[in-house]
Amino acid sequence: MLPPPLPTRMEFLLELLLEIFGEFILQFVFEAISQAFLHLFNRPVRPEPGGVSSAWWAIAGYALLGVGCGAFSVWLLPHFFIHSHVARLVNLAVTPVLVAGAVALLGRRRSRRGLGVVRLDKFTYAYVFAFAMGAMRFAMGSVG
């Protein structure tokens, strides 16, 4: 029997885009669910007297939340959408920026409408969450 034919460049690029889009959607969904819970159970962001130290605690909290969501997503979907190691590294660098940007845009829209915002609506906090989730998936996932 002959080995299966190698994919063309176009097939490879299409597969890579679909796989990165799958990771983006997965991270965005988990971030949206986390954000929804924060909007339900948290008070809107207000300046606090100890703002700098509380910001660091919030960053640590969102990193832990991202790690937890990443571990849960690996349990739920143990195999990577992306099979190439280099593409997974690119995904780890790019997808958190895209997810955080999308979440920050939604947060800005909420703010303009006069709705309450939480820290996860800000780019920095959303990036920390998305990067921690992506790093956990990168570390624990399998190529399948």
Which residues are registered as beta bridge partners of 4? none
Question: Mind listing the pLDDT tens digit for each residue in 44-56?
Answer: 555 555 556 688 8
Q: Is residue 126 in some structural domain?
A: yes
Tokens 């915002």, located at residue:
117
Q: Is residue 2 part of a domain?
A: no
5 versus 93: the higher-pLDDT residue is: 93
Is 131 within a domain? Answer: yes
- Any domain includes 9: no
In the DSSP assignment, the letter for residue 50 is: T
How many Å apart are CA 114 and CA 136, to the nearest integer? 35
Number of domains into which the chain is organized: 1
Is residue 20, in this structure, part of any structural domain at all?
no
Q: Can you tell me the distance from the alpha carbon of 144 to that of 123, in angstroms, rounded to the nearest whole number?
A: 32
Chain segment 58-70, per-residue pLDDT in tens: 899 899 999 999 9
pTM (2 decimals)? 0.74
Domain residue limits at 31: 25-41+51-140
Give how far Cα 82 sits from Cα of 28, 113, 117, Å: 16, 37, 33
